[in-house]
Amino acid sequence: MKTQLIVLLTGLFLFSANAGADIVVTFSDGSTSGTEFFANTGETVTMFVSVEETSPNTEMTDNFLIGFGLKADYAAVSGTAATVTSNSVDTAFDTTTDASFTSTQLNLAGIDIDFASDGYPQGPTILLGKFDLLLSSVGTTQFDFGDYDPSLDDFVTSASEKLDGIIFSNGRTFEFSITAVPEPSAISLLAAFGLVTIARRRKKLA
């Protein structure tokens, strides 16, 4: 009886471990990764989009990712929205099916036709593409990445494993924000202006 109980508990533990496995979309500005980024006004920032698997998932490590699709809606949540100036699928996906963008939507989708010969893309972390953002004015822009086409399985491996169900389970999306802050020189000028104003007021009081 005790042996059966141990086997049952072990089976439940393994099931829960597999249920906790995940594949997520991640973002980086080239120096940091996360969901919140900052840059100076006037800067153009390159954002990198990747997909990562967590243990014990090994679908992308054991096989090649031959296709993917992401769609992002974005808008300013304060101030002025950043402007997308370019958008591209990583060269590992030699057939770009969509790398379009407008002032409110960005698409990333591609297929790797030659996966059998070049062996890429493969691994626990795979770069999907990148896009450039011009931060012309102070403000925060929110990006919301989701399923490119819910009627299709866009994320597929060379073993015909379909990953959309894991990545976008229950309609899940992936968000990040980028905030444009005043340039350091502008802040210095504001500070200097403040000091001059204070000095004038003190003179008047004297």
Structural domain contains residue 139: yes
Report yes or no: 48 and 28 within 8 Å, Cβ to Cβ: yes
Structural domain contains residue 143: yes
Residues of the chain with pLDDT under 50: 1-20, 187-199
Quote the CA–CA distance of 2 and 122 in Å, as a whole number: 43
Structural domain contains residue 56: yes
Structural domain contains residue 197: no
Structural domain contains residue 5: no
Structural domain contains residue 7: no
Quote the pLDDT of residue 48.
Answer: 98
CATH number for the domain spanning 162: value is 2.60.40.680
* Domain tally, the chain: 1
Quote the pLDDT of residue 200.
Answer: 55
Burial (Cβ within 10 Å: 0-12, 13-18, ≥19) of residue 12: exposed
Structural domain contains residue 80: yes
Going from the C-alpha of 29 to that of each of 34, 51, 52, 105, 204, the distances in angstroms are: 9, 15, 16, 19, 49
Structural domain contains residue 147: yes
- Residue-number span of the structural domain to which 132 is assigned: 23-184
pLDDT in tens, 87-133: 999 999 989 999 999 999 999 999 998 765 556 899 999 999 999 99
Cα–chain center distance at 179: 15
